Structure formats: structure tokens, C-alpha cells
Structure 1
Amino acid sequence: MAVHTPHRKSGYALYSQVAVLVLSLGACGSNNDNNNGDNNPEPVPEPGLVSCADTASCASNPPLEIGGERPAQVEIPSNYDLNTRYPLVIVLHGYGVTGSIESLYLGLDSRVDDKQVVLVKPDGTPNLAGTRFWNATPACCAKVAAAEDNSGEDYTQIDDVAYLRGLIEEAAATYSIDTGRITLFGHSNGGFLALRMVCEAADYVTAVISLAGSTFADAASCAPASLPVSVLLLHGTLDETIAYAGDEILGEAFPGAQETAMRFAGLGGCDDSNPAQLGTADVVNSLPGEETSIIGYTDCQPGIDVELWTIVDGPHIPLPWVPAAIDNFVDWLLDHPRPN
């Protein structure tokens, strides 16, 4: 069981129940038309990131596992074609689960064909108790992992940013990747890491969604943030694990959703002082009506969007999702390539 602050009930234990549910039900399908590279703006290739498509060296039947000693499972479209450049989607799981379970929970596997993407599902490092985690920020979750297994291990030495950068490079060298659309979808601990990648790997990453995640307590730690990245934050107001208003874990603070959104709006060159109301959406089937309110920041750098989707009365692990909402989230990622 994960260690957490005494006054806050942990949502990590719920993942075992969610895993059983998603494995038994499977992911919701999508009936939307394909959303492939031909239907999106022509992206700008990332500096220093070369795809095998650039050198005509992609294999027609590539391996479905990359990552070497830290393997990641990969899904490619059933009609995979070397003449197509596919957006890359990397799913980053929450504390204590795996990339495959998180992907099923979010319904991403079933959208590989519909959305014409390459999906990579890495796993965090297991602590000595076997619990997988990411070393994202001081609050989440290397310190939690060490406290859980009571081993005295210093898990803060794990460099998950370097691991993900290497995984992106290997994916680009292995699959026909559109290097102008390198996207992340992270949940909880994975949401923290997704946002850290905006800070430290903006030369690779082009768009990020963070569900129930947060960022560094000290805004100055988010560096170098060398290029603007589109960010969508999705967070429930009744999250009892990563509080919507911010809190601390084992003495390490993290900012709330609104503060986090404002910071990334600033990094995107937006006017962070007066976000605009963008309406409401029905995202979670178990909550009544259009329970999610959406704000967006204006005057961002060209091609950049930063949005905060607040799930009113939403928990740490929203369930079940409205299928169209997941379609919209994946579309949002794909519709935000690196600007020209």
C-alpha cells in the first residue's frame, strides 16, 4: 500500500480495482473517422530527432517492444504503412500500475487504428515491493516508493526524463514517426512526469495531457522549457490523492490545478492573467450532465493552447469515461503539432 499523508485517503489502492474492471470490460471503441497525418497541419520536424522515415530505413514489420532493459510495449495501426508518418502517443501510468493497464483504462489501445497513431506503453521502475513509479518531482513519487518498501533506497537517482527521451529517440528510429507530433498522456504520477517533460524535453514533446497530475512546487525548477508546448490539464475537484487545490506528500508540496495551468500558460507565451471560459463538456459517465468546465488561455504563441478542464465532483480515477471525450482528448493531442 502506498504511503500518503495521514489526512488524505490514497487513491492508489483503487488502481487494482480499476485494473480488474478495464481488463474485463476492455476499452470503449471509437466510431470516428481516421485522424491521420493527412488531415492535420504539416508539422515542423524536431531538431535533432530523426525518424527512420527520414532515411528510408523503417522496417515494414517492426518489433512491438522497445526500451532495452526497461522494455515498453508498442501498438501500431493494423494498416501500418511506411509511406505514412504517424503521430507518437506515449501513455504514462499512475503509481502502482503499468502502461498497459493505464492504456486500457484510458481506452487508448482501441484508438490506435481509428486515430492512426503509434502508441507506446512504458512502465515505471518497481520499488523493492514491486510497486511501479516514476521519479517525476520531489512530491511524486520516488520518496513515496522508498517509504512504501522501507528499504532506504534513494530512488531520486532514477532519471526518467532521460529514459523517456531515449524511448522517443528509439521509437523515431524504429517506426515511421511524425517527429512534429510527439505527445504524452499521463495520469497521476504519470501526469507529473508528463509535465516535467514539458519543462525538460520541450525540444521533443509537442503536446501533453495531464490527468490528476501536478508539477514542481518551485516554478523555477521547471527548466529550461526551451520551446512552447501545448498542455491540457484534466483534474477532478474531489480528488483525494492529488488535491485539486494543491497539497503535499510526505512533506513535499505540489501546486493546485489552477496554479499549474497558469504556469504552463506563461511558458506557452499566453496571457496568464485572464483565462477565457470555453464552455462545458460531458467527460465522465457516472457524473450528471456536462460536469466539466473548461478554461483556456489567450494570446499564446502561434499554434499553442493551454487549457484547464475541471471535472466538478470528479475523483482521482474518473470512471467510466464518455467514449467521445477520450476521442476528443486524443484529437486534441494530434491537433497540436510543433508550430511552424
Structure 2
Amino acid sequence: MMIVVAISGLLALTASILFWYWAYAPTPKVPSLSAKLSREALTVGAEKRTCWKYAPGALGKQKVPLVIVLHGSGINGVKIRAWTGYAFDQLADQYGFAVAYPDGYQRSWNDIRKNVPFPAKQKNIDDAGFIRSLIESFQVSHNIALQQVYVFGYSNGGMMALRLAASVPGLLAGIAIVGANLPTPDNRTDDIQAPMPRVMMIHGTKDPIIPYDGGRVRFFGKDLGNVLSASATAEAIAETHAGPKTIQIERLPHLDPHDPTSVERKTWSQGEQKVVELYTVYGGGHVIPQTTAKFPRLMGKVNRDFSAARKAIAFWGLDQR
């Protein structure tokens, strides 16, 4: 009997060690900022929703852009703020815009895929209505410019950004998505509109959740349907912009010789206007490239050659204000 108990205890300890090794990631320290994060509650239909807001102290009364950051499934607005290394808050201080970190319904979004088992999808939560209400709230409280609303989405949040861009034409001036591809037409709730807003994409070739080359998505044994490849997603979005386009491909400087990942950027442009930008992270996982936050090991390698948040801000032109 004592042997059985000892073996059971050893197995439990081993499982605990393995879990912490593969799943644990420390939360980075919050940097010095000009303002504090605040929390707001909104009622949308029958649901009470929450959002975390960051607005630099020096915004003043002029109209300013709004960046909405959508988390992945299983986490929340506070966590995605940390997983982006607090970069959006720092950039907001630098360039003068407001940031929103909304919380999904039970840590999930009712995204553009038909076949996902997330609570928001199962209950058909009106997340588009939530985002519209959030924008209206910021317009009242921080005088945001409605023609300068942008969404940065990671994983399930990236899929939600695609749904917003497709289902609510004119709502967004641009989106940036990480670890998210368009679903195949049979697995898509909304057809993409012509033209889509400007889209920046980041995807790792060794993403263990959303396959870079497309195909079936499985998440902890659950079937989430099929998605297009990252390249096919970028091409499909670029094609919503009528007229000839030029394509440019370049490698980003590799800053750390010990980092096994590397980055290639492919840009579709019309004249001086970039309409789609795809960052392929060779060897990268289901993570957000930046230099501050660590991700659980099970999600793959993090590239440190660039900041996803800073590239998004530059792609949208917010660093030129």
C-alpha cells in the first residue's frame, strides 16, 4: 500500500513539474507609464462586459486614434497587455492614442469561424456589438477619431479582428493579427468584403495551434475546423483591393545569433499604400514577437528581432502623428 502511495505521489510530482515547465510563464513587470490602467463595465444586450482602458495623461482635447487589443482564448485583457510587453501603453505615451483591452465572454470571442467550441460562439455572443459600444464609450470619454480605430488581435482575438473587418465595413481603419488565418469558406461565418481594411499578419511556421500552411485546427483534442494558409489569407485579403499591386519581400535583420527563429516580410502595395503585410517567422510558434514577455514553452519559440506592437503602429501610420 505504501509503495502505491509513493508511486502515486511521484507521478503527481512529475506531472506538476512537467506542467510548470511547459505551461508556466512569469508576468513581466509593468514599466513606468504616464497614466494608470482603468476598468470599465458596459452592458450589451443582456450581457455585462468589461474592458481595461489606457489613456495617456497628455492626450488633451484633440481627437486621437484608438487601438483595441483582443486577447486569445483562455486569457483576458490584462494578460494580453502583459503578453505584448506593455508595448501598446508605452507607444500610446509616445505617439498619443488611447488603448482598450476588452475581456471576451468567458475568456473567448465569437470569431469568424463556424466550428469552435468556445463559450462566446456557443452562446452566439454579440461581440461586434460590444466592440461598437466600446468605441462609442471611448468617443465620449476620450474624443477618439472614428476614422482611426484599429484592432490588434492574437489567436482567437485575431480571428475576431477578421470577423469585425469582414462583417462591419467601415468600422476599422486597419487590423493586425498574430497566429490567425482566414477559415476556409465552409468554416467561415462572414465573407470578406471588398475592400478589407489594411491588414498586417504575423505567423510562425511552427505554430502548434493555427498551422502556418493551413489545414485542420485542433485545440486540446477539439476540432476547430479548417483554415487557409497564412500566404493564402494574405493573398485573399490583398485581392479585395481592386487594381494592380506590387509585392516586395525582404528579410529582417537577425539580432540574436542564439535565436533559432528568423523573419521574412512580404508586402502587397498599391502605390505608396501598403494594403497587406505578412511577417513569416521561420521556426516561430503561437506567440507574439517582442523582447519583454515570456510565453509558455508549449506555445513555441518567440522571435525577438522585432516588436509586433511597434510594427503594427508603424503599419497603421500612428508613429507619424
Q: TM-score range by the shorter chain?
A: 0.7 to 0.9
Secondary structure (helix, strand or coil) at the match of 1:111 reads helix
Note closer, same or farther for the CA distance 1:28–1:217 as it changes in structure 2 (3 Å cut): farther
CA deviations 1:143-198 (Å, max 9, x no partner) are 3326xxxxxx9715222222212222222222121222111111011111111211
- Structure with max Cα Rg: 2
Q: Post-superposition shift, 1:324?
A: 5.5
Match for residue 58 of structure 1? Answer: none
Q: Post-superposition shift, 1:310?
A: 0.2
Match for residue 225 of structure 1? Answer: 193
CA distance in 1, matches of 2:193, 2:159: 15
Letter in 1 for 2:163: R
CA deviations 1:37-63 (Å, max 9, x no partner) are xxxxxxxxxxxxxxxxxxxxxxxxxx7
8 Å CA contact 1:293–1:311 kept in 2: the answer is yes
Q: Does 1:85 align with 2:63?
A: yes
CA distance in 1, matches of 2:111, 2:125: 9
Match for residue 129 of structure 1? Answer: none
2:238 to 234, 259, 265: 265
Q: Post-superposition shift, 1:111?
A: 2.8
1:275 to 247, 260, 263: 247
Q: Does 1:118 align with 2:118?
A: no
Matches within 5 A, 1:103-114: 103-107=81-85, 108-114=88-94
Q: Does 1:299 align with 2:270?
A: yes
Note closer, same or farther for the CA distance 1:239–1:326 as it changes in structure 2 (3 Å cut): closer
Q: Post-superposition shift, 1:327?
A: 5.5
Q: Does 1:197 align with 2:164?
A: yes
Q: Does 1:308 align with 2:278?
A: yes
Matches within 5 A, 1:136-155: 136-138=111-113, 143-145=116-118, 155=122
Match for residue 237 of structure 1? Answer: 205
CA deviations 1:107-141 (Å, max 9, x no partner) are 32333212321000101111xxxxx111113367x
CA distance in 1, matches of 2:257, 2:160: 27
Match for residue 246 of structure 1? Answer: 214
CA distance in 2, matches of 1:109, 1:278: 29
CA distance in 1, matches of 2:179, 2:68: 17
Q: Does 1:211 align with 2:178?
A: yes
CA distance in 2, matches of 1:89, 1:222: 23
Q: List gaps (5 residues or longer) in structure 1.
A: 1-12, 31-62, 127-131, 147-152
CA deviations 1:48-82 (Å, max 9, x no partner) are xxxxxxxxxxxxxxx75253310111000022311
Q: Post-superposition shift, 1:276?
A: 2.1
Q: Post-superposition shift, 1:215?
A: 1.8
8 Å CA contact 2:84–2:309 kept in 1: the answer is no
Match for residue 40 of structure 2? Answer: 65
Tell me the number of residue pairs that the alignment of Structure 1 and Structure 2 aligns.
273
8 Å CA contact 2:150–2:175 kept in 1: the answer is yes
8 Å CA contact 1:75–1:120 kept in 2: the answer is yes
Q: Post-superposition shift, 1:16?
A: 5.9
Identical amino acids, percent of aligned pairs: 21
Match for residue 3 of structure 1? Answer: none
CA distance in 1, matches of 2:173, 2:286: 25
CA distance in 2, matches of 1:263, 1:119: 29
Matches within 5 A, 1:155-166: 155=122, 157-166=124-133
Q: List gaps (5 residues or longer) in structure 2.
A: 1-19, 218-222, 292-303
Match for residue 94 of structure 1? Answer: 72
Letter in 2 for 1:123: D
Match for residue 53 of structure 2? Answer: 74
Note closer, same or farther for the CA distance 1:173–1:225 as it changes in structure 2 (3 Å cut): farther
CA distance in 2, matches of 1:16, 1:318: 16
Secondary structure (helix, strand or coil) at the match of 1:305 reads strand
Letter in 2 for 1:192: M
Letter in 2 for 1:190: G
CA distance in 2, matches of 1:136, 1:88: 21
Match for residue 43 of structure 1? Answer: none
Secondary structure (helix, strand or coil) at the match of 1:192 reads helix
Letter in 2 for 1:255: L
CA distance in 2, matches of 1:66, 1:251: 30
Match for residue 26 of structure 1? Answer: 29
